[in-house]
Chain A
Amino acid sequence: MFIKAVLSMLIALVIAGGAFAQESDSLVVMTHDSFAVPEALLEAFEDQTGVAVEVLRAGDAGTMVNTAILSVNNPLADVLYGVDNTFLSRALNADIFAEYESPALEFVQEAFLPADEDYRVTPVDFGDVCLNYDIATFEDLELSLPESLIALTDEAYRGLLVAQSPATSSPGLAFLLATVAEFGVDGDYDYLDFWSDLRENDVLVVDGWSDAYYGEFKVTGRDSGSRPLVVSYASSPPAEVLFSENPEAGAITGAIVADGACFRQVEYVGLLAGAANETAARQFVDFMLSPAFQEALPLNMFVYPVRADVDLPEVFAEHSQIPENPAWVDPADIEAHREAWIQAWLEVMLS
């Protein structure tokens, strides 16, 4: 009896698997783990277009791009959202996108518009990786904030910073790129000299964002780590207020947004070449640039809209700072040198 029951279950599973075919009046959106959008917003899109939206999460940003490349001949989805400038070149080189020039691009801030009229991807949002600090600790120590990257090598900040490894962490890589942009890769004092000084100054490097932020970063009022400086996002302080047990108490952490101290990550959406439902895919790209979607970005994914004409939610308007001059490294350079830069960094930090 037992065996028969299990067998029939297995057979049922296989049949169910075979029947699991994609319908063409639905739209599959492939994205990363951090994708979050209000359900009502997606329903509005579905009502408006009559297309059912299915969201396919495919791991972290790197895993997602690699998955899309591996399935280029038989795409898993119609639209891919969430490829950022650190992985953009890899995706473009693999020719996974079809061109589409959205009419909504006219509302996008100029700085984010695609160069050379290359419309294979469309910018949707951006966020900045930068230093966060625990306000209470800096007040208690009567310590001024490190207002530039080089200040971090100062004796005053010895043993205060926790960062992430660029080999395994996306903010870790972004911060490495900020140092590459700031100090360059050759010259008297390059990014490796800076890191070697940071190491002398007792920087702690851990594997990922949550280990750094929850394990090592000191936030007064939370039993957490012991270092009051962490590599995180410019949007972390408002999020910290939003998810605080006592939001009225105001900000407990801050972000340092000095010129060149932050690295900007821009996220793009693109139509996957050979998509089953190209019309709906175009509609979805337009939808992502619509005011309603752009307004929902900060509170759901802690990133900022690329449209200049949408208002930020109150908690963001009040507690967040957007760096005026973030560091920037050309995506093609990132793809070409990522391995070498990380390898050299590992040698400096581990030798």
Chain B
Amino acid sequence: MRRRIRGSGAWLFLLPLLFLSLFYFYPLLSLFDISLRPAGALDLSAFLRIVESDYYLGTLLFTVYQALLSTTATLLLALPCAFVFARFRFRGRSLLLSLATLPFVLPTVVVALAFATLLGEDGLLNDALRALFSLDYAPVQLERTLPLIIIAHVFYNFAVALRIMSGYWSSMGAAAEEAARCLGADEWALWRDIRLPLIRPALLSAGALVFIFCFTSFGVILILGGIRFATLEVQIYYQAVSIFNLPMAAALSIVQILSMLAMMALYTRSQKRLRLDLASGATLAKPARSALEKLALAACVGFMALLLFSPLLALLWRSIFVGGALDLRNYASLAESSRGSLLFIAPLESIFNSLRFAALTTGAAVFLGLCAAYLIERGGRLGRLFDPLFMLPLATSAVTLGFGFIVALDEPPLNLRASWLIIPIAHTLVALPFVLRSVLPSLRALPPSLREAAALLGARPQTVFRTIDLPLLGRGIAVGATFAFTVSMGEFGASLFVAQRESVTMPVVIYRLIGDPGNASYRQALAMSVVLMLACACGFSLIERLRVAGVGEF
């Protein structure tokens, strides 16, 4: 028996739908309306041009191709690491998880610089190989190739897959595995019959997010891939901004959104059949004992160090060494606004702005995300239909949504075009799918018997939620909150439309610094990127603490 939403709290579940309609569908449809009906009559010739032209079709195919490759690579690499993280307790585990999430907040320009330091023609890797094998050429030629795009996508999205999968894996009881072991199952059988089938919902969740992210990738493709590789997202920006061909931009946006919608619908269907009822008992995590286990742990940490931390370290190194000597001037100068300029506020002030928006976004996204998760899970057939809709903001180009806000939200009481509120609203739209995808697998695995027992014993729905659901969902919520926080800290586009000083966030400062010629501003930008990473790391540990304090250990 599936339980339906009922009782006085039901309206809560409609809030996320209201939010989505008001701040996503309404602006988007308004923009499509003026784009595709310029003279009052519907003009769909832009769609015809897409279908007829090899150029646009080629762009679409390349977009899908690189996204599939990137997603597969990310999942394959993250799966063993997620297992290690779920299975072993070790010193520095949560620090490692936090570090793995940091790439997410870095502006692509900064990441491109870090990759060039490492993998470029005169990068550290080529220098080392040259010295080692006394070569007179650079053996690694990755600049502006598809493999580099895929490496960068793995770099950005590894933490998404890792956190979602390991969060889910560690909240599953050890009972099934121990039973299988008692019945004589070997390691191979454990993987085939227990672990992989159990992880499938989280694997699909992570895969869907990573796919959408790679599908709509903008900066990574442009900066690391060069102009030869153009995705739909790049094409939409070009049509909307450079040549102001709104009908074509709208048509391409619709193609992008519909392909995502189809993908997501397919994915939600496949997930429907997987409904696990696992008592969330003792955690599986234990210290690594045998030599094999220690080797697996070392391999995982070593791999992550190579993939994720070496670019971050390159960045740190570049920011604190000036001409070979340790020099912290770059950091000291962040405290002052050198030009006394109105919009060029002291970079350190922007930390406060960023943290404020990130806190608002995390609160709103976790609340709305939880409501949405219950709507989807307990809302029956209708509820499940809403699932793909919440993913759409991720599939929508920032410039499309930005122009949508301009044409739709232009009259009181919703004249938000120039208000700072647009920033947390836009961030929440993007963060919501992360919370949803992190919470849903756990919510699906929630044993109904526990809730029924509680209800039978006379617990009110609120009490059931607080004492049963919340502790069991805690890990998923924490993962979602971490990502909501991260998305907000790293986001850049939405704050472009807003006026006041308080809208100057850390990524905006980095972009402005990197927009000025000169050594000092360039190094300040690097220092600011390191500060951004530190601020995020602090945010992560705070979220982790809140989880432990708020919902107890499990």
Chain A residues in contact with chain B, CB under 8 A?
3, 6-7, 9-10, 13-14, 16-18, 20-22, 28, 33-40, 42, 54-60, 62-63, 66-67, 69-71, 74, 76, 90, 165, 167-168, 173, 205-211, 213-215, 219, 221-223, 225-226, 232-233, 236, 239-245, 299-300, 302, 338-339, 342, 346, 349-350
Contacts and interface: CB of A to CB of B under 8 A. Distances in A.
10 contacts: A37-B341, A38-B342, A42-B342, A59-B496, A66-B403, A76-B417, A208-B223, A215-B116, A243-B519, A299-B339
Contacts of B184: none
B530 to A, nearest CB: 16
Interface in B340-355: 340-344
Contacts of A209: 515
Contacts of A243: 516-521
Contacts of B406: 67, 70-71, 76
Nearest to A54: B499
Contacts of A33: 496, 511-512, 515
B458 interface: no
Contact of B340 (A3, A40, A56): A40
Contact of A350 (B227, B240, B415, B512): B227
Interface stretch (B83-91, B187-195, B241-249, B254-262): B241-249
A211 B343 CA distance: 23
B499 A222 contact: no
Nearest to B410: A74
A36 B344 contact: yes
Contacts of A205: 226-227
Given A17-B421, A20-B419, A239-B518, 20 more contacts: A17-B414, A22-B418, A28-B418, A38-B341, A42-B342, A62-B241, A66-B240, A66-B244, A67-B497, A70-B407, A167-B238, A167-B242, A168-B234, A168-B237, A214-B522, A215-B223, A226-B122, A243-B517, A342-B242, A350-B227
Nearest to A339: B243
A39 B226 contact: no
Contacts of B318: 223
A20 B419 CA distance: 7
A208 B245 CA distance: 21
Given A58-B496, A211-B109, A339-B243, A300 B341 contact: yes
Contacts of B117: 223
Given A9-B363, A211-B112, A245-B322, A60 B241 contact: yes
A349 B421 CA distance: 43
Nearest to B235: A167
Nearest to B465: A3
Contacts of B50: none
Contacts of A58: 496-497
A351 B237 CA distance: 22
A11 B73 CA distance: 43
A62 B242 contact: yes
Contacts of A54: 499-500
A211 B363 contact: no
B289 interface: no
Contact of A38 (B228, B339, B424): B339
B223 A300 contact: no
Nearest to B404: A70
A201 B20 CA distance: 51
A221 B519 contact: yes
A3 B367 contact: yes
B12 interface: yes
A36 to B, nearest CB: 5
A245 B520 contact: yes
Contact of B228 (A63, A67, A350): A350
B118 interface: no
Interface of B: 12, 34, 109, 112-113, 116-117, 121-122, 222-223, 226-228, 234, 237-238, 240-245, 318, 322-323, 329, 339-344, 360, 363-364, 367, 399, 402-403, 406-407, 410-419, 421, 424, 496-500, 511-512, 514-523
Contacts of B245: 339
A295 to B, nearest CB: 14
Given A17-B413, A206-B227, A6 B418 contact: no
A330 B415 CA distance: 37
B496 A63 contact: yes
A3 B12 contact: yes
A57 B499 contact: yes
A338 B414 CA distance: 36
Given A36-B343, A38-B339, A350-B227, A90 B244 contact: yes
Contacts of B116: 215, 225
B107 to A, nearest CB: 10
A89 to B, nearest CB: 11
Q: Which 9 A-B pairs have the closest CB atoms?
A: A243-B518, A18-B413, A207-B222, A56-B499, A6-B367, A62-B241, A59-B496, A243-B520, A236-B517
A41 B476 CA distance: 51
Contact of A207 (B227, B329, B412, B500): B227
Nearest to A9: B363
Nearest to A87: B244
Contacts of B514: 210, 214
A70 to B, nearest CB: 5
Interface centre among B339, B340, B342, B414 (most CB of A within 10 A): B342
Given A300-B341, A349-B227, A74 B411 contact: yes
Contacts of A346: 227
A55 B402 CA distance: 18
Given A16-B421, A66-B240, A167-B238, A71 B407 contact: yes
Contacts of B222: 168, 207-208, 211
A214 B318 CA distance: 13
A178 B242 CA distance: 18
A168 to B, nearest CB: 7
A314 to B, nearest CB: 16
A215 B112 contact: yes
A239 to B, nearest CB: 5
B524 to A, nearest CB: 9
B462 to A, nearest CB: 9
A242 to B, nearest CB: 6
Given A59-B497, A232-B517, A222 B227 contact: no
Contacts of B240: 66
Contact of A71 (B417, B424, B499, B519): B417
